A and B are shown apart, each in its own frame.
Chain A
């Protein structure tokens, strides 16, 4: 099977790839977002601690 045939998904390319695409986007966001927020929070807390605040 060639790449073009695979990508075409029997004519349903738009539906199939949008479905998979949005799925992976949502799943990715749900993992990356908390990681980024946690890193940001850690940075803020460290800064606050350095300034002697609590």
Chain B
């Protein structure tokens, strides 16, 4: 099997596995919406306050949803031995890892976009920010999956790696959070957002190239 074929085979396999548990696919989405809902309940429903907080709240919630779904990236493969098989395969592990991350994003990150209009309505996000919200979600959710992959690869072998995973990954998420929420915030105020979006795109491209290698090294370490 050629590298390209293996790459798509991995993606297809993961998507198939995820679809077999279709109900679970909605969980990150529900979590995303739920967490956003908590904020008006906690701070009171004043429209001005909610509108000011909207970009940050939406993005923190997206981040938490991404964080919670990270563990599933390599967990089941680790437990049933498929991960070891991937390590032994003659295909470069980086390519397979990239495939897994893409599949993970398709299943856990992309659906979050569906919630965007609803959440914008909940928090009173101005209409002019919607386009930017979509764009930041499309650019940054794969970024979150990619960056998170490093953390998951480092901790997949640990029994209770969940808390450590968060501790490792959140500092790496901070720049993404800052640029994404800043972009939506500026868009809500009618300001230009090209710079923020450009930076997010640059980070995404850099991550696609740079993440698979340390992730592979970390996976090899974790499995042994």
Direct A–B touching, Cβ under 8 Å: no
Instruction: Please list the residues of chain A having a beta carbon within 8 angstroms of any beta carbon in chain B.
Output: none
